[in-house]
Amino acid sequence: MSGTAGTPTGRRHRVREEALAEILRTGRRLLVEDGPGAVTLRAIAREMGMTAPGLYRYYAGHRELVQALASSLYDELAAALAAARDRHPSAGPGRQLREAGRELRRWALAHPREFGLLFAKPVADADTAPGSVAHDSGWRFGGVVLDLMVQLWRNGSVVPPAGLDPVWTAQLEEVREHLSGEPVPLEVIYVFVACWARLYGTVAVEVFGHLDFALTDPGPLFEHTLDEILTALGDTDRLTER
- What CATH number is attached to the domain comprising 53? 1.10.10
- CATH number of the domain encompassing residue 183: 1.10.357.10
Q: Examine the pLDDT at 1 and tell me if it is beyond 50.
A: no
Give me the number of domains the chain comprises: 2
Q: Which of 10, 28, 59 is the last residue of a domain?
A: 59
Q: Is a pLDDT exceeding 50 seen at residue 61?
A: yes
**pLDDT for 20 beyond 70:** yes
pLDDT at 239: 52
pLDDT band at 67 (very low <50, low <70, confident <90, very high): very high
Mean pLDDT of 50-59: 89
Is residue 191 in some structural domain?
Answer: yes
The residue among 189 and 179 whose pLDDT is bigger is: 189
Q: Looking at 39, 59, 79, which one is the last position of a domain?
A: 59
pLDDT band at 242 (very low <50, low <70, confident <90, very high): low
- Say yes or no: 99 and 209 in one domain: yes
**Residue 215 included in any domain:** yes
The reply to whether 55 and 90 lie within a common domain is: no
Same domain, yes or no: 176 and 153: yes
CA 94 to each of CA 17, 203, 220, 226: distance values in angstroms, whole numbers, following the listed order: 39, 19, 18, 10
Q: Within this chain, do residues 79 and 42 fall inside the same structural domain, yes or no?
A: no
Q: Is 100 exposed, middle or buried (0-12, 13-18, 19+ CB in 10 A)?
A: buried
Q: Are residues 165 and 220 in the same domain?
A: yes
Domain that residue 34 falls in: 1-59
State the chain's maximal CA–CA distance in angstroms. Answer: 65
Report pLDDT for 170: 84
Phi, psi for residue 125 in degrees, rounded to 5:
-70, -5
Q: pLDDT category, 237, cuts 50, 70, 90?
A: low
pLDDT digits (tens, 9 = 90+) for 189-220: 999 999 999 999 999 999 999 999 999 999 99
The 10 Å CB-count burial string (b at 16+, else e) for 200-227 is eebbeebbeeebeeeeeebeeebeebbb
On whether the CB atoms of residues 178 and 143 are closer than 8 A, the answer is yes
Assess whether 235 and 138 both reside in one domain. Answer: yes
What average pLDDT does this structure show over 169-181? 82
pLDDT tens-digit readout, 108-162: 999 999 999 999 989 999 999 888 999 999 999 999 999 999 999 999 888 888 8
pLDDT at position 10 is 79
Q: Confirm whether 76 is domain-assigned.
A: yes
Answer whether residue 64 is part of any domain.
no
With a cut of 90, say whether residue 168 has pLDDT above it. Answer: no
If asked whether residues 31 and 97 sit together in one domain, one would say no
221 and 117 within one domain: yes
- Burial label for 198, CB within 10 Å (0-12, 13-18, 19+), is middle
Q: Are residues 222 and 184 in the same domain?
A: yes
Residue 65 in any domain: the answer is no
Q: Are residues 46 and 94 in the same domain?
A: no
pLDDT > 90: what percent of the chain?
Answer: 74
Question: How far separated are the first and last CA of the chain, in Å rounded?
Answer: 56
- 13 pLDDT tier (thresholds 50, 70, 90): confident
Does residue 165 sit within a domain? yes
81 and 131 both lie in a single domain: yes
> For position 3, what pLDDT does the model report?
55
- pLDDT exceeds cutoff 50 at 166: yes
**pLDDT exceeds 80 at position 2:** no
Is 88 in the same domain as 42?
Answer: no
Number of other residues whose CB lies within 10 A of the CB of residue 176:
16
d(CA 224, CA 199): 11
Q: Of 59, 81, 99, which residue sits at a domain end?
A: 59
Quote the pLDDT of residue 72: 97
Could you tell me if residue 125 is inside a domain? yes
Flag whether 16 is in a domain.
yes
